[in-house]
Structure formats: C-alpha cells, structure tokens
Amino acid sequence: MMNIKTVPTQPFADQKPGTSGLRKKVPVFQQPHYLENFVQSIFDSLEGFQGQTLVLGGDGRYYNRQAIQIILKMAAASGFGRVLVGRSGILSTPAASCVIRKNAAFGGIILSASHNPAGPNEDFGIKYNISNGGPAPEKVTEAIFARSTAIATYKILDVADVDLDKLGSFKLGEMNVEVIDAVNDYAQLMESLFDCDRIRELLASGHFRMCMDSMHAVTGPYAHRLFEQRLGAPLGTVQNGEPLEDFGGGHPDPNLVYAHDLVERLFGDNAPDFGAASDGDGDRNMILGRHFFVTPSDSLAVLAANAKLVPAYRDGLAGIARSMPTSQAADRVAAQLGIDCYETPTGWKFFGNLLDAGKATLCGEESFGTGSNHVREKDGLWAVLFWLNILSVRQQSVEQIVREHWQTYGRNYYSRHDYEGVESDRANALVTDLRAAMPTLKGKQFGGYQVDYCDDFSYTDPVDGSVSQKQGIRLGFTDGSRIVFRLSGTGTQGATLRVYLESYESNPAHHNRDPQVALRDLIAIAEQVAQIRQFTGMEQPTVIT
Ligand code: G1P
Ligand code: ZN
C-alpha cells in the first residue's frame, strides 16, 4: 500500500541554477523543504517520465546520503518506474552521464558542488541532466527556476530509509531501485575508447612512473580500478584514493594551487614522468609532466592535434568546441585540421547540442575540463587516459610533446586571475561600469595594444537557435590577444570575479617565458579598464591559474 504524502510548502526565492546546477551551503539545503522544493520543481518541469528510469548519485560529499534518501522517496511518489542509484549514493559526474546513456534513462540527478570544499558548513549542489546524459540546457533550468518560485506542494513517499550500501534491487512503493556499481560501466566505456594494450605496456614497463591524485574525492575507486587493476600500474599509483565526506578537509580542485601535494611531487627531485589529478565529482583534470604544467587550454589543443593516435578518434574529429574564455590554441589545431571550432559560453551544458548534432567531437574549458562525445559531461579520467594513450604511442615526455606543439602552432600564453569572496554589490558595480565603458574602448591604444573589439559575449546555439546573452565582457586586441571579464556562476558566497588573459607568440625563441611575465602588459590593461583593485578592495587575485 503506497503511502504518498502531499506536503504544503512555500517557494524559496533563491533557487536559480547557476553555471552548473543549484549550489548552496549545506545548512541552506538542510532547511525544511528546501531540497524537496527544488526536486519537485525539477519533476514538475519535466514531461513524460512516468514509468521511466532516473539515474541518481553524487560525489559523496557531506549530505549526499540524506539527499539521496529524500530524492528516492520523491521519485517514487512522482511515478518514476526505476531509479539507478550508485552504491552508497556515489557516482562520479562522468559516470552518471555514462549510466544515463547506457540505460537510455529519462534523465539523472547529480548531487555535487564539484571542487568546492565539503562538510557541514561547506557546499552542496544538485543538478538535473537530460536523456543525452548532459546537463539540462538553459530552457530547462529556467523552467525549473520558474516553477520553484510558485511551488505550493511536493510529494514524497512515507517510508523508512533504504540501504544503499548493498548492490541489488528492491521496491520502493511501486518503483524499482537498483543499486549499481558504476565503476564497471565506466571502466568498460574507457576501455572501448583507448589503446589499452599500449597504455598497459607503458605503465608496466618500469621506465614510466605516473601519479594520480584523487584528492579524497569521487574518482578514487574508478582510478584504482582503471590504472592499478586493469592497466597494470603499480599499487600506490593512485594517491588520496579513498572518497571522504569532507574530502579530507581539502579543496579538491585540480590546479596548481589546490593540488599542492601532487605539484610538489612532480616538481620535486626524482619526480614521476606523469601526474594527474581530478576534482570532487571527477569531471575536471589537471595534467603535469616532470617539472611541467600543461594548461587546460593547451591540453585541449594537444589532445585534438593527437586524436588520431586514439582508436576512438582514429577517423578524425567532426569539430572542436571550447568555452569563450578558453584560449584559442584549439582554434589553431582546428584550422590546420580543416574542421570547425565552436566558441560557447562558460559551462558544459552548452556543448550538449553540438555533441548530439555531431558537430563537435572534443570539447574543453580553461577551467580544467575536457571531454568528448563519449558522454555529455567533461571527464577527468578520460583526459588522463587520453594523455597516457598519446604518451604510450609517441614515447616522448609531456614537456617534449607540448613544446613541439608550440613549435608547430605557436604558443597561446594564458592565465586566469580570480578574485574570490568579493562583496556582491562591489562586483556588480565593477561589471556595470565596465559595460558602460565598452563603447569608448574600441580603437583605443594601450601601449602596444590596440582594442579591436569590445563586447558582452552573446551566443546563438547553431542547433536550436537559442540565444544566451551577457556571457562575459571581451576585450579583443588587434594582435589576437584578449582579456575577458566575468562573474562566476558557481559560488555560494559573495561574488568571484574572473579575469582571463591570453596572448599569442609564434616565435619559438620566446616560448620559454613565465606566463605572468608574458601577460604583464595585459594584466595592467585589465586593471586600468576595470579598476579591479578599487572595486574589489583587493591588491592581488586570490587564485592564479
Ligand atoms: C566554473 C568554470 C566553468 C565550469 C564550471 C563547472 O564556472 O569556470 O568553466 O564549467 O565551473 O565546473 P564559473 O564559476 O566560472 O561560473
Ligand atoms: Zn567538477
């Protein structure tokens, strides 16, 4: 006998999904009805899911378990036929995308705040993915938000919590729940893409040492299985491989600042040949060689240029897509290959249509995200395997491969300066002033740099024609250099200003500079046009990547 409760509720005003779903502090989600309202708003915005399959899982952070219990009972009350849930409620974001696709699910709910710290007073997040396995496009997230402002009731099954630690299936009301181990599904997909025999040879050769840092987040079990069990890397290759509810108190953002243990090893004495890290939910990656850092923008370009070495991409790429602030290094590869390069707003949701339509095969963002048409999320371990595949075929070091790449295509010096924890009013004032100054900037000379264009990036999706406006203020110079300003859409407190800087250097004699030095003039111009110090009250960025 089903016991469905209809619970009266009132809207919360702050449930607008950002770049990647709804992210708030845990105590916000713990308020009575808060999570329930948002979940019901998702369900209310969808049509035709009765009897269908939903995929559910998260990065395992604090509050994941509780949220999963609530969502299962709500899915049962709303009429889903089946939910595939990761064991213990855990699924990496790319694995969730893989499972949605493999099972032709109606959609999925992913619980994650990505790389943001976790714990009782830290961040939590929830997002909805559609049947292609990718993040819901804006028209869906807007519908969810609209619903959240008008919601009056939600439905939930009145039953005890279920055991999610054992694999298997059981009934929850009339709905089937299947507790799955997605590590296998994911590993199988990876093995279908790459030249695993060669990677195995490389990893087992004894001449090549790699180190994978899972940062106590979701990729630990996937990385152990793939690298150590399936590909023959020695035990101990994966460090911090046990997922923890608070990520070990760390900040699982794979960059030079937060992945400091790994960085120290790769830049230390007797360093391994290859180092990689992934983030909280497993969709980001950082790639390091011995004493060498590969920027994510360069990584995308190198993967694209070497794609033919990977079985899955042997026949060539349909196109490449990158987010607008990502460097134009990939554009140069696309030009050489004679394929299109698409420039999208920040956020993986904008790649979905291009991938579905077969217009792009590889996608990437400067924020340590790369992926392909194998799923509809960015995929950290996929990028690591892609690099290993290239390394195993080319038998060169990471540094040699990147330096040769620069020789062929030129080097796009690149850096992002983040100003975190800015008071929202002050960040908005900076943007308002910058917008007002836009018309006066075109043609203006700053030292050796002349402004070619200045606009607020607007994107028209080439597949469905939808338009996304105000996606970042761009200042383009006549020599191809760029400065981009935008506010983060993933924060949970105050505002984060991101300043993206890029310049191009064709001469190999000048490829050895420190990016902060190479970009010095652009950094000064950014300050001059946006008055960053004055508006933020900060002398320096809080994070430079
Ligand atoms: C950030 C990154 C963006 C990425 C998103 C989710 O968003 O900049 O590229 O897609 O996280 O991982 P932002 O905080 O800039 O809105
Ligand atoms: Zn992430």
Rounded Cα distance, 46 and 300, in Å: 34
CA of 367 to the centre of ligand 1 (A): 6
Rounded to the nearest 10°, the torsion over CA 431, 435, 440, 444 is 50
Q: Read off the CATH number of the domain in which 292 is found.
A: 3.40.120.10
Task: Kindly tell me the burial class for residue 74, based on how many C-beta atoms sit within 10 Å of its own C-beta (0-12, 13-18, 19 or more).
Answer: buried
Task: Kindly tell me the burial class for residue 177, based on how many C-beta atoms sit within 10 Å of its own C-beta (0-12, 13-18, 19 or more).
Answer: buried
The token pair at 301 is: 């370009």
Q: What tens digit of pLDDT does each residue of 519-528 get? A: 999 999 999 9
pLDDT of 2 > 80? The answer is no
Q: Under a CB-based contact definition with an 8 Å cutoff, are residues 238 and 228 in contact?
A: yes
Q: Under a CB-based contact definition with an 8 Å cutoff, are residues 228 and 235 in contact?
A: yes
**Mean pLDDT to the nearest integer, 64-74:** 98
Provide Rg for the chain, Cα atoms: 23
Torsion sign across C-alpha atoms 529, 534, 539, 541: negative
The three-state secondary structure class of 478 is coil
pLDDT of 159 > 60? The answer is yes
Q: What tens digit of pLDDT does each residue of 498-521 get? A: 999 999 999 999 999 999 999 999
Q: Under a CB-based contact definition with an 8 Å cutoff, are residues 285 and 380 in contact?
A: yes
Q: Are residues 316 and 383 in the same domain?
A: yes
| Number of domains the chain contains | 3
The token pair at 230 is: 């399936």
Q: What pLDDT, on a 0 to 100 scale, did the predictor assign at position 406?
A: 98
Phi-psi region of 376 (alpha: psi -120 to 50; beta: other; left: phi over 0): alpha
Q: Are residues 309 and 416 in the same domain?
A: no
The percent of residues in the chain predicted with pLDDT above 90, rounded, is 97
- Would you give the distance in Å from CA 89 to the centre of its chain? 20
Single out the residue in 366, 385, 409 at which a domain terminates.
409
Q: Are residues 405 and 416 in the same domain?
A: no
Query: Which residues does residue 495 pair with via DSSP β-bridges, in sequence order?
Result: 422
Q: What pLDDT, on a 0 to 100 scale, did the predictor assign at position 492?
A: 79
pLDDT of 147 > 70? The answer is yes
Picking from 397, 366, 375, the residue whose alpha carbon sits closest to that of residue 515 is 366
Q: Are residues 240 and 383 in the same domain?
A: yes
Q: Are residues 318 and 362 in the same domain?
A: yes
Q: Are residues 344 and 472 in the same domain?
A: no
The one-letter code for the residue type at 148 is S
What residues are annotated to the active site? 114
Which ligand is the nearest neighbour of the Cα of 346? Answer: 1
Q: What pLDDT, on a 0 to 100 scale, did the predictor assign at position 493?
A: 82
pLDDT of 175 > 70? The answer is yes
Q: Would you say the CB of residue 348 lies under 6 angstroms from ligand 1?
A: yes
| Run of H or E including 428 | helix 424-441
DSSP secondary-structure letter at 321?
Answer: E
Q: Are residues 335 and 456 in the same domain?
A: no
Phi-psi region of 537 (alpha: psi -120 to 50; beta: other; left: phi over 0): left
Q: Are residues 28 and 84 in the same domain?
A: yes
Q: Under a CB-based contact definition with an 8 Å cutoff, are residues 191 and 63 in contact?
A: no
Q: Are residues 403 and 439 in the same domain?
A: no
The token pair at 14 is: 């702050």
Single out the residue in 373, 391, 409 at which a domain terminates.
409
Q: Are residues 174 and 191 in the same domain?
A: no
Q: Are residues 116 and 159 in the same domain?
A: yes
- Atom number, ligand 1, closest to the C-alpha of residue 486: 15
The token pair at 319 is: 């196109």
Rounded Cα distance, 120 and 349, in Å: 29
Q: Read off the CATH number of the domain in which 430 is found.
A: 3.30.310.50
Rounded Cα distance, 283 and 285, in Å: 7
Which ligand is the nearest neighbour of the Cα of 278? Answer: 2
CA of 230 to the centre of ligand 1 (A): 32
Q: Would you say the CB of residue 487 lies under 6 angstroms from ligand 1?
A: no
Q: Would you say the CB of residue 347 lies under 6 angstroms from ligand 1?
A: yes
- Atom number, ligand 1, closest to the C-alpha of residue 366: 9
CA of 59 to the centre of ligand 2 (A): 9
Place of tokens 């924060």: 491
Q: Are residues 433 and 393 in the same domain?
A: no
Distances (CA, A) of 423 to 21, 346, 369: 22, 22, 27
Q: Under a CB-based contact definition with an 8 Å cutoff, are residues 118 and 107 in contact?
A: no
The one-letter code for the residue type at 204 is A
Place of tokens 């709303």: 78
Q: Under a CB-based contact definition with an 8 Å cutoff, are residues 311 and 436 in contact?
A: no
**Mean pLDDT to the nearest integer, 291-319:** 98
Domain extent at residue 95: 4-182
Phi-psi region of 529 (alpha: psi -120 to 50; beta: other; left: phi over 0): alpha
- Atom number, ligand 1, closest to the C-alpha of residue 18: 16
Q: Would you say the CB of residue 114 lies under 6 angstroms from ligand 1?
A: yes
Q: What pLDDT, on a 0 to 100 scale, did the predictor assign at position 1?
A: 55
Phi-psi region of 270 (alpha: psi -120 to 50; beta: other; left: phi over 0): left
Q: What pLDDT, on a 0 to 100 scale, did the predictor assign at position 62?
A: 97
Q: Under a CB-based contact definition with an 8 Å cutoff, are residues 389 and 195 in contact?
A: yes
Picking from 294, 299, 309, 346, the residue whose alpha carbon sits closest to that of residue 325 is 346
Single out the residue in 389, 409, 429 at which a domain terminates.
409
Q: How far apart are the first and last CA of the chain?
A: 56
Cα angle 169-135-493, degrees, rounded to a multiple of 5? 105
User: Nearest residue CA, atom 1 of ligand 1?
Assistant: 490
Rounded Cα distance, 486 and 157, in Å: 42
Q: What pLDDT, on a 0 to 100 scale, did the predictor assign at position 491?
A: 79
Name the band, by pLDDT with cuts 50, 70 and 90, for residue 155: very high
Ion ligand 2 — residues with CB under 5 Å? 114, 279, 281, 283-284
Q: What tens digit of pLDDT does each residue of 455-496 get? A: 999 999 999 999 999 999 999 999 999 999 999 988 778 899
